[in-house]
Amino acid sequence: TYCMPAEGWPLIERTGLLSLEELARVIRVFAGLGVERVRLTGGEPLVRRGVVDLVREIAQTPGIQQVAMTTNAHLLARHAQGLWDAGLRGLNVSLDTFDPERFATITRGGDVAKVIEGIQAAQAVGFTDIKINAVALDRLNGDDAPALVEGCWANGWLPRFIEVMPIGSLVEQRRDRLTSEQVFDRISRVHPLRWLERTNTPNGPARYAVVTEGPEAGQRVGFISPMSDHGFCSTCNRVRLTARGGFRPCLADDHEVSLLQAIRDGATDESLAGLIRQGLAGKLEAHHLRTPTRAPVSTMTGIGG
């Protein structure tokens, strides 16, 4: 409900999307510029026909060290073995609560049992790098944080909480947003937490805390804080490519460069690399999400949230 408009998302003609071959080509260009990690997200990447073949192509690209995916896991049980064999190694699963009724409300009919089945199927074929991404909203699942982390720890998954960002339709959720500190405090009432020192990791913007005492001592929980952490953008090393071929140096900025148009106009790989460098030159030093009039209007579903 917080990233997909109630009326859904208008379908796009296939010709308006990067083909799998075009995607693989663009990723080769990025790899030539020094990109080492690729994450497939959505929408839902597992509904894209041929996604396993795409994973294999990316994993075999010289310079690419890791291929990961963010998924809702509804189709994961079906594809887990193929994805593992193709070279996928990291999974982030969007899961805001283990409560079946709340989950169905948040996802407009989703089945949490199917999600859990998908994650367990992934574990069975070899996946160990499994993170659970939850968006905490006060009136939807704000009191579920302790139960969510306990369920994750029991299954060997790493729970992480993401502050909702006022992008597109998410502006309406601003009043329900819980900060990372608020979620930290709610978990700490049950499982005392201590912040860990930040590390210069290339893997993402999460900051982690560790349980300091009790039966869960040593367990970790992550927090991604684009709204409350005013230094959030200072170590950003990520860019985004939409399904429609839009290159976005910043998720929170509507400015993008159309690589799809360039490809179909006959651009060489060298020309594509030049467009990417040009886009990077305009990357914001810090996002404008705290300024409503400057926040992006694109929906998270449309740009790959």
Tell me whether residue 200 is in a domain.
Answer: yes
Given a cut of 60, is residue 305 above it in pLDDT? no
Q: Encoding tokens for residue 144?
A: 């579920």
Q: Encoding tokens for residue 233?
A: 């953008």
| pTM reported for the whole predicted model | 0.89
**What CATH number corresponds to the domain at position 59?**
3.20.20.70
Coil, strand, or helix at residue 183?
helix
Tell me whether residue 275 is in a domain.
Answer: no
Pair 130, 169: CB distance under 8 Å: no
Average pLDDT (39-59) is 96
pLDDT of residue 251: 83
- 65-104 pLDDT, tens digit each: 999 999 999 999 999 999 999 999 999 999 999 999 999 9
Number of domains forming the structure of the chain: 1
- 274-300 pLDDT, tens digit each: 999 999 998 888 776 766 555 555 555
pLDDT of residue 282: 85
Tell me whether residue 24 is in a domain.
Answer: yes
| Calpha distance 272→263 (Å, rounded) | 8
- Residue 88 CB contacts under 8 Å (≥ 6 apart), including other chains: 55, 59, 67, 68, 69, 127
Tell me whether residue 259 is in a domain.
Answer: no
Which neighbouring-strand residues pair with 241? 247
Closest by CA to 22, choosing from 12, 14, 10, is 14
Tell me whether residue 8 is in a domain.
Answer: no
In which element (H, E) is residue 159 found?
strand 158-162
Helices (H), the chain: 20-32, 51-59, 76-86, 100-106, 112-125, 138-141, 145-155, 180-188, 259-264, 269-281, 300-303
Q: Which of 11-15, 176-180, 275-279 has the highest mean pLDDT?
A: 275-279
Pair 150, 123: CB distance under 8 Å: no
Domain residue limits at 48: 14-233
Given a cut of 80, is residue 302 above it in pLDDT? no
| Calpha distance 89→78 (Å, rounded) | 16
Tell me whether residue 116 is in a domain.
Answer: yes
Given a cut of 80, is residue 51 above it in pLDDT? yes
